[in-house]
């Protein structure tokens, strides 16, 4: 059973943004509980390559804001879509000449969703057919009103950050609200940014942002794997400490509760404009759930673990409107369906999601992670209830978001 308490490294989305916004601020900012994942390290290294001073001070990271320089080498974003997309917008707005590269997975992901609006703003760039490597050239940018075809916080953030360096206002309208950390944080740091419904508008940055001290709340997407483990392994009960409970990020916890898991938010408080809470999750029988397009942005990163839960839930779980999963760190719909079939689940692949009939006694098998951290972690959790060993081809990829994953799971698995 899974028993005990756990505290998580900082939310990945807020960690990326805290480094970037500290770089735009006047003077020193201090960040505690930064994500320990290699994705956030990629953002740090890219900013350092642009001349931003970032140092460790004990467990904290201290960033001195300043002017951006052209990097001498290509910016290596590793596996990180958030680093690439947000930095494309931010550096375009700061008039930086830079080339972006990444690993094989990142190099296959669509970047036109960023390059299209940025080129409408006047950015000159070169890409490999809308993919990495991408080179951006210092350009005069003009604000636009961008109607985004996808509900993506990365697209929204990239365009808004480019707007800091554009003439006139820049606005982004999205079809469904995606995570709102960029808007929330920039408002708190003196950015001229406002939101009306699904439209966010930003004005050029005429003076640096305010420096800040921030403790990044625990990552709810990482905590989701432990909440899931605790809701399917018999007799489990876990306390998830200091987890971010931003309303645009808690879709998974709402879904888990709806499925019937035992859940109790023991304490909830506000810090730096974000809601944070301590959450108890315990095992109870689960029922199937239906997830539709409107639900997807609020739990987009949690769909691999929801698929595992669905195999243990009674009835037909249907996930639709989740075609974005096909362009994440891997084609997650394919990865989920292929691997769940190997371990005996009853799953049907759809173009925009999947259908799972449960409950099923999962068996052991060899899992292809596609080097995707969330596939690796989701199938490790499946291994807690399978009647044979689950063997991952590349377990190390969990480090992309949570290097401590296996050690913490072992500590809590009694």
Name the residues that contact ligand S3P, by CB under 6 A.
13, 16, 82, 152-154, 157, 178-179, 300-301, 324
CB of 251 within 8 A of CB of 268? Answer: no
Residue whose token pair is 């199937």: 288
Minimum distance from residue 154 beta carbon to ligand S3P (Å):
4
Question: Minimum Å distance from CB 27 to ligand S3P?
Answer: 25
- Whichever of 242 and 249 has its CB closer to ligand S3P, that residue is 249
Mark 84-108 as b/e (b = at least 16 C-beta within 10 Å).
Answer: bbbbbbbbbbbbbebbbbbbebbbe
Q: Distances from the Cα of 166 to the Cαs of 20, 143, 218, in angstroms?
A: 18, 5, 34
In the bound complex, what is the minimum distance in angstroms from residue 286's beta carbon to ligand S3P? 24
CA 315 to chain centre: 29
Residues annotated as catalytic (active site), given as ranges: 301
Nearest to ligand S3P of 43, 171 (CB atom): 43
> Strand, helix or coil at 229?
helix
Name the nearest CA neighbour of 199 among 231, 159, 241.
159
Say whether 23 sits in a helix, a strand or coil.
helix
41 vs 312, which CB is nearer to ligand S3P?
41
Contact at 8 Å (CB) between 198 and 177? Answer: yes
Burial class (CB in 10 A: 0-12, 13-18, 19+), 293: middle
Which lies closer to ligand S3P via its Cβ, residue 26 or residue 323? 323
Of the pair 2, 63, the CB lying nearest ligand S3P is at 63
CB-CB contact of 280 with 238 (8 Å): yes
What is the helix (H) or strand (E) element at residue 244, kind and residue range?
A: strand 237-244
Rounded to whole angstroms, the Cα distance separating 27 from 74 reads 26
**Do you know the residue count of the chain?**
414
Nearer to ligand S3P, 76 or 372 (CB): 372
Query: Shortest distance, CB of residue 307 to ligand S3P, whole angstroms?
Result: 16
How many Å apart are CA 295 and CA 298, to the nearest integer? 6
Please tell me the distance from the alpha carbon of residue 377 to that of residue 393, in angstroms, as a whole number. Answer: 12
CA distance 111 to 128: 10
């Amino acid at each position: 059973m899974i028993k005990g308490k756990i505290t998580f490294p900082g939310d990945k989305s807020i960690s990326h943004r805290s480094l970037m916004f500290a770089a735009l601020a006047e003077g020193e900012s201090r960040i505690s509980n930064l994500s320990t994942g290699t994705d956030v390290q990629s953002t740090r290294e890219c900013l350092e390559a642009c001349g931003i001073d970032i140092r460790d001070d004990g467990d904290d990271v201290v960033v001195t804001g300043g002017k951006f320089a052209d990097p001498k080498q290509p910016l290596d974003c590793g596996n990180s879509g958030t680093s690439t997309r947000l930095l494309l917008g931010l550096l375009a707005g700061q008039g930086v000449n830079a080339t972006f590269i990444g690993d094989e997975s990142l190099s296959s992901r669509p970047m036109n969703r960023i390059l299209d609006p940025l080129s409408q703003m006047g950015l000159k760039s070169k890409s490999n057919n809308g993919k990495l490597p991408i080179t951006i050239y210092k350009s005069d940018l003009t604000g636009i009103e961008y109607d985004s075809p996808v509900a993506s916080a990365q697209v929204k953030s990239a365009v808004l950050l480019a707007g800091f360096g554009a003439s006139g206002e820049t606005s982004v309208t999205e079809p469904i609200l995606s995570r709102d950390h960029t808007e929330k944080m920039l408002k708190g740091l003196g950015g001229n940014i406002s939101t009306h419904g699904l439209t966010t508008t930003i004005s050029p940055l005429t003076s640096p942002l305010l420096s800040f001290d921030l403790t990044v709340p625990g990552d709810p997407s990482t905590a989701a794997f432990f909440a899931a483990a605790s809701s399917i392994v018999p007799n489990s009960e876990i306390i998830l400490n200091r987890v971010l409970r931003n309303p645009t990020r808690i879709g998974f916890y709402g879904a888990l509760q709806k499925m019937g898991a035992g859940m109790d938010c023991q304490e909830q408080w506000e810090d730096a404009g974000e809601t944070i809470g301590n959450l108890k999750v315990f095992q109870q029988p689960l029922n199937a759930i239906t997830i539709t397009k409107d639900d997807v942005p609020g739990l987009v990163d949690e769909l691999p673990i929801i698929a595992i839960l669905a195999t243990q839930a009674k009835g037909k779980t249907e996930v639709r409107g989740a075609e974005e999963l096909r362009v994440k760190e891997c084609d997650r719909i394919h990865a989920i369906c292929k691997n769940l079939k190997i371990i005996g689940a009853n799953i049907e692949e759809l173009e925009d999601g999947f259908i799972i009939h449960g409950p099923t006694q999962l068996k052991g098998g060899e899992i292809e992670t596609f080097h995707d951290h969330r596939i690796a972690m989701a199938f490790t959790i499946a291994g807690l209830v399978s009647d044979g060993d689950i063997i991952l081809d590349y377990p190390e990829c969990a480090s992309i978001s949570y290097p401590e994953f296996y050690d913490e799971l072992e500590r809590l698995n009694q």
